[in-house]
Amino acid sequence: MVELSSCDVAVIGAGIGGYVSAIRAAQLGMNVVLIEKGSIGGTCLNLGCIPTKALLASTHLLLKIRRSEDFGITVREASVDFGKMMIRKDTIVKNLALGVSYLLKKNKVRLIKGKGTILSKNRIHIRKVDGTEENIDTRYIIVASGSDPEEPPGIHIDRERIITTDDSFRLDCAPESMAIIGGGIIGVEFAQIFNALGTCVNILEKMPNILPLLDVDLGEAFRRILEGRGIDIHTQVDLESVMIGDDGRAKIKAASPSSHLELSVEKVLLTGRSAFTKDLGLESVGVKLRDTFIVVDEHMRTNIPNIYAVGDVTGGKMFAHVAFSEAVVAAENIAGTETTMDYRGVPTCVYTSPEIASVGLSEAEASKLGYGVSIGKFPYLANGRALTLGEREGFVKIVSDRETDEILGVHILGSNATELIGEAAIAMRLECTSQELGKAIHAHPTLSEAIMEAARALSRKAIHI
């Protein structure tokens, strides 16, 4: 017998997009059901943002210890316990998941563990993990099913030699060698983790630069840093084959404009992701898809008026902080408060060492859109706080409209870039000019002074260069 119940809003997926939309809808007075077939927190909490940042924090500390002599401190021996690193990561994930569970209970969101399938625009069928079934009648549906690792055509993921990022969090030791397919954010973060742990790392990227979606200056400068640490980077690469050889190692054949590449490695790490829309029942109710992604408007509404979608499943900017904002927009529109998404001020962050962060238009994007572009740049090497921290690598680059002086984009490579970018995001939200940003008094000595000096450099008023 199938149990029947009802609610105002049913949310499929308890990742950040799902649980935030559920909590916000509940705050707005609605009766909410949240459906999750796996772990609360989704990819970001369990197999993405948080685990990678936990491992990166360990390797950041390791890299710092290795140059402790620069600070007048001698560390006689620093050894890595990979198992303890993974336990620390798991503990952080568990504690945050418990926090999300508490928030759901506090806001009276009903959590159902099971797989949800849309039967009609107002009904969802749930096959629960305990084997029972339930139908939910609902006024609104929010799809927040997230994304899954992508299996490229012709490549078989055996989860032993050819693995996904999900599988990487289950390793019991750092491999001797690894080829990472994809030089985007995920690729370079994993490259740094395993390089620091002694793995021989190759990055294969099909575009002309690593970090191809960021300002080209960031990608080129960071490539030099990674290559200086012994990471081999191959760009403009077309994969020909990835398979397991007779010796049990993964074999890669690829071609670039200048050479033919053959690699034999212990592990191949695939970094691509695709929307999870399979078996959700979207086609049966006529929800429009583009490839595997759900098409939504600026209100996060699909072509079916009472069905919304948020997060990775929409195929926009696949960041947790974007899913958070989209979730709030969806919930508030359902509650009757018209709200829209504005993607112009979305920060992009890379948690490597040094960090990378960007918001707004790159220099090339601004030029392509027809802006007369002015550039202001300031190096970390000329920043007092950076020198005291031993963080000499990096720069701040500001792109502005030459005619109005409005800031169009800010790009940072350097220590604490992911924290500093918040100032730039606020400045752009308020349509700040470089003159205004350059006049704002910044404490000394701080890394944020580099933003002020880059803003001043646009009008040739920088002091320390």
Beta bridge partner(s), residue 4: 135
DSSP state of 93: H
Neighbours of 118 (CB within 10 A): 23
Write the CA distances from 299 to 211, 310, 318, 340, 465, integer angstroms: 29, 10, 17, 5, 45
Write the CA distances from 410 to 54, 198, 323, 465, integer angstroms: 26, 33, 22, 19
- The helix-helix angle for 417-429 and 449-457 (nearest 10°) equals 50
Q: Say if CB 412 and CB 356 are below 8 A apart.
A: yes
- The two three-digit tokens of residue 295, written as one number: 């098409």
Spatial distance between the Cα atoms of 348 and 361, rounded to a whole number of angstroms: 11
H helix or E strand, kind and range, residue 202: strand 200-204
Helices (H), 48-164: 49-66, 82-106
Amino acid type, 93? V
Strands 3-12 and 133-143, by their bridges, are parallel
Q: Say if CB 219 and CB 213 are below 8 A apart.
A: no
Catalytic residues: 444
- The two three-digit tokens of residue 384, written as one number: 């007092």
Amino acid type, 99? G
Spatial distance between the Cα atoms of 18 and 138, rounded to a whole number of angstroms: 16
Write the CA distances from 327 to 32, 116, 320, 330, 334, integer angstroms: 14, 19, 10, 5, 11
Write the CA distances from 287 to 275, 280, 294, 463, integer angstroms: 14, 11, 7, 56
Residue by residue, DSSP assigns 14-72 as: -BHHHHHHHHHHHHTT--EEEEESS-TBHHHHHHSHHHHHHHHHHHHHHHHHHTGGGGT
